[in-house]
Amino acid sequence: MTDNELYKSITVQEKIDIIDVVKAYTILYHAQVNNTYDVYLFLACINLLNTYVKQNKKAISYSFKSRIFFINELLAHNDFSDIKVNYLYSKKEQLYMFMVFDVQFSFHGIIIEKGIWDMLKKYQSQFSWDGIRKQMCAKTVFDTILKKSELTALTRDFRNLYEYMDEVVDRFNKGEIKLEKNGLVDNNGVFV
Query: What average pLDDT score do residues 160-184 get?
Result: 97
> What CA–CA distance (Å, rounded) separates 29 from 12?
30
> What CA–CA distance (Å, rounded) separates 128 from 30?
32
> What CA–CA distance (Å, rounded) separates 129 from 188?
43
- The model's pLDDT over 24-35, given as tens digits with 9 standing for 90+, comes to 999 999 999 999
Q: Alpha helices, DSSP H only, in 56-110?
A: 67-77
H/E element, 22: helix 18-30
- The model's pLDDT over 50-92, given as tens digits with 9 standing for 90+, comes to 999 999 987 999 999 999 999 999 999 999 999 999 998 888 8
Does the structure show a pLDDT above 80 at 110?
A: yes
Phi and psi torsions of 185, nearest 5°: -135, 150
Q: Could you tell me if 52 and 19 are in contact, meaning their C-beta atoms sit under 8 angstroms apart?
A: no
Does the structure show a pLDDT above 90 at 129?
A: no
53 Cα distance to chain centroid: 13
For the chain, the average pLDDT equals: 94
Query: What average pLDDT score do residues 108-137 get?
Result: 91
Predicted confidence at residue 62, as pLDDT, reads 94
> What CA–CA distance (Å, rounded) separates 186 from 176?
6
